[in-house]
Structure 1
Amino acid sequence: MTSLIFYTNPMSRGQIARWMIEETGAAYEQRIVEYGPEMKSAEYLAVNPMGKVPAIVHDGKVVTEGAAICAYLADAFPDAGLAPTPHERADYYRWLFFGAGPLEQAVTNRSMGWEADSDRQAMVGYGSFDLVVDTLAGWLADHDYICGERFTAADVYVGAQVDWGLLFSTLPERAEFSAYAERLRSRPAYIRAKAIDNDLIAAAKAAQGSDA
């Protein structure tokens, strides 16, 4: 029996966690949680009281939130080489939390049609969407990966934000973003993870069509 259980839905941020798991090479048990009653059921709420995916259970311990899952798995499976070296820790934690905080907040607020007035930008923490974009692009202009020349778990989380942002046009087409995304999309673990989730999405759509 595997010690790693992965709760996900292919049409969710669970894609980030799957990519991270694939990068570790760890064996895992997949449990698909459907939106609606199943995701809000007592059984799943016992795993994640927020009633959302992804979540993992490793050796009996629950971890939720995409960035936390990435950081946890990097530490739990050190042989994969995805955790930061002492020299890399500052950049690793800085940008991992930047992706989970300012970047995701700015993109979400912009997508929902809301942005703080200039006199209230300090209240939202990240300032403005343009400031967040320029800050991240500025870093990626001089770094192949978040920590420099080496891929780490921070690239899974930040990279997923950039990858999705370009795909769904929630981030602008910037040369820095496109080059970074291309490097990530060529990784075998990324390709494997995407293939699994795309097959699950296709199967779900086919099942819906047969029920129509």
Structure 2
Amino acid sequence: MADAITFYTNPMSRGRIVRWMLEEVGQPYETVVLDYASGMKSPEYLAINPMGKVPAIRHGMTVVTEGAAICAYLADAFPDAGLAPPHGSAGRGPYYRWMFFAAGPVESAVTGKALGLLAPEDKKQMAGYGSFEETMAALEQAVADTSYICGDRFTAADVYVGSQISWGTMFGIIDKNPAFDAYLERLLERPAAKRAREIDDALAAQRQQDA
């Protein structure tokens, strides 16, 4: 019997990234929806993630937090889904590169811009992302002339990179451009992406109604 997957989330959070990944994996999972005020700060959940944040998963006895780490973990835990290049293959380098570029420089630059906390020009060398403009230029180049972030094959890296671009452009933090638009069109039409949005949109609507 396969180890059970428990998914801790909130429909208005980065948990939506992991929901999409779980739908791509295609394995059964249990969803535990937590509210920000109490559920994520409960002793039970802090034992899972001391940061008191979602998303997180428990797979058997293994706990994984952080969206990019969860995506990478699930891709390796369920290789039959074909969501990661094989270990030792040439594709593994770009896969790690862009997954963690999105989790590091992109996430930091987008958050910094949203909060008005970007590094000033004379201190940008101290920031992992350099400047917001440099980070976005690198990201645009990465998706401009290829079907997916690692070439012609969809991977878990696309789930994470695509989610960052989708959220950033939705809230006007990342400027839309033809490269991002074409990339997102390919990703967001995937059946798993649609299922994930429908599930979380329904959960969000229900929680708003219950509030």
SS in 2 for 1:30: strand
What corresponds to 1:176 in structure 2? 179
2:47 is aligned to 46
Q: Could you give the per-residue CA deviations for residues 55-93 of structure 1, whole angstroms, max 9, x where no partner exists?
A: 000011100000000000000111100011312111100
Please give the residue correspondences for 1:59-74 in structure 2 after superposition, counting only pairs within 5 Å.
59-74=60-75
**1:110 match:** 113
Distance, in Å, in 1 between the alignment partners of 2:191 and 2:108 is: 29
Identity of aligned residues (%): 57
Q: Distance in 1 between matches of 2:59 and 2:21?
A: 14
Distance in 2, matches of 1:32 and 1:115, equals 32
Which segment is superposed worse, 82-91 or 188-197?
82-91
Aligned-partner SS, 1:131: helix
1:73-119 CA distance string (max 9 Å, x none): 00011110001131211110000010000000000000001222221
For residue 199 of structure 1, give the secondary structure of its aligned residue in structure 2: helix
- Which residue identity is paired with 2:140? A
Cα distance per residue 1:116-166 (max 9 Å; x no partner): 222100101211000000011011111110110110000000010011111
The secondary structure found in structure 1 opposite 2:41 is coil
Aligned residues: 208
Q: Which runs of no fewer than 5 residues in structure 1 stay unpaired?
A: none
Q: Distance in 2 between matches of 1:24 and 1:114?
A: 36
- Tell me what 2:170 maps to: 167
Q: Distance in 1 between matches of 2:38 and 2:210?
A: 18
Aligned twin of 1:58 = 59
RMSD: 1.0
Aligned partner of 2:98 among 90, 95, 100: 95
Which sits farther off after the overlay, 183-192 or 81-90? Answer: 81-90
Q: Tell me the SS of whatever aligns to 1:49.
A: coil
User: What secondary structure, in the 3-state scheme, does the structure 2 residue paired with 1:114 have?
Assistant: coil
CA separation in 2, counterparts of 1:119 and 1:108?
19
What's the counterpart of residue 32 of structure 2? 31
Of 179, 198, 205, the residue aligned with 2:208 is 205
Q: Distance in 2 between matches of 1:125 and 1:68?
A: 19
Tell me what 2:8 maps to. 7
- TM-score between both structures, scaled by the size of structure 1: 0.96
- The residue that corresponds to 1:80 in the other structure is 81
Deviation at 1:205, TM superposition (A): 1.0
User: 1-side partners of 2:22 and 2:119: how far apart?
Assistant: 36
- 1:144 maps to 147
Query: Does residue 191 of the first structure (1) align with residue 197 of the second (2)?
Result: no
Q: Moved runs in structure 1, 4+ residues, more than 4 A?
A: none
Secondary structure at the aligned position of 2:117 is classed as coil
User: 1: distance between equivalents of 2:23 and 2:38?
Assistant: 29
The amino acid of 1:50's aligned partner reads M
